[in-house]
């Protein structure tokens, strides 16, 4: 990400891939008037992973917004900027299944059921 003071400040977010992923983005926006044209601009962004919070980047001024995924993850960002960020979008996908869910699904395909305490019952 870049911005602030004429775009000279930078910040990098490093996720602990593949176990960490972005689940929400919050921030603030406001309307800027330039040559009589009203344009919304992003004032701040904060990223929440399934483990940590990054930011805020920018100033928490203006109207707050939140984009949260229930059962999904953000896998990409896109946006538009000039002097300011004036558009942002997200590429999303389902969140990865937990290991226990994947094991149970594999056993179900085999005609088996798994109960608490690791008891396995198979249809012979």
Q: Which domains does the chain have, with CATH numbers?
A: 2-96 (2.100.10.30)
Considering the entire predicted model, what is its pTM?
0.69
Count of all residues that appear for the chain in the document? 124
Token readout for 121 is: 């019952």
Give the per-residue pLDDT at 49: 93
Q: Give 37's pLDDT tier (boundaries 50, 70, 90).
A: confident
Q: Give 2's pLDDT tier (boundaries 50, 70, 90).
A: very low
Which residue from 93, 77, 68 is spatially nearest to 18, judged by alpha carbons?
93
Q: What is the mean pLDDT of residues 101-118?
A: 60
Q: What is the mean pLDDT of residues 40-55?
A: 93
Q: Is the pLDDT of residue 100 over 50?
A: yes
């Amino acid at each position: 990400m870049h911005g602030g003071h004429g775009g000279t400040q930078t910040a990098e977010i490093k996720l602990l891939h593949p176990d960490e992923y972005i689940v929400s983005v919050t921030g603030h926006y406001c309307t800027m008037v330039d040559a009589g044209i009203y344009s919304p601009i992003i004032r701040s962004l904060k990223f929440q992973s399934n483990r940590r919070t990054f930011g805020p980047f920018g100033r928490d001024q203006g109207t707050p917004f939140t984009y949260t995924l229930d059962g999904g993850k953000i896998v990409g960002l896109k946006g538009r900027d000039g002097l300011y960020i004036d558009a942002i979008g997200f590429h999303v996908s389902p969140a990865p299944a937990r290991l226990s869910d994947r094991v149970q699904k594999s056993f179900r395909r085999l005609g088996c059921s798994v109960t608490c305490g690791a008891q396995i019952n198979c249809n012979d």
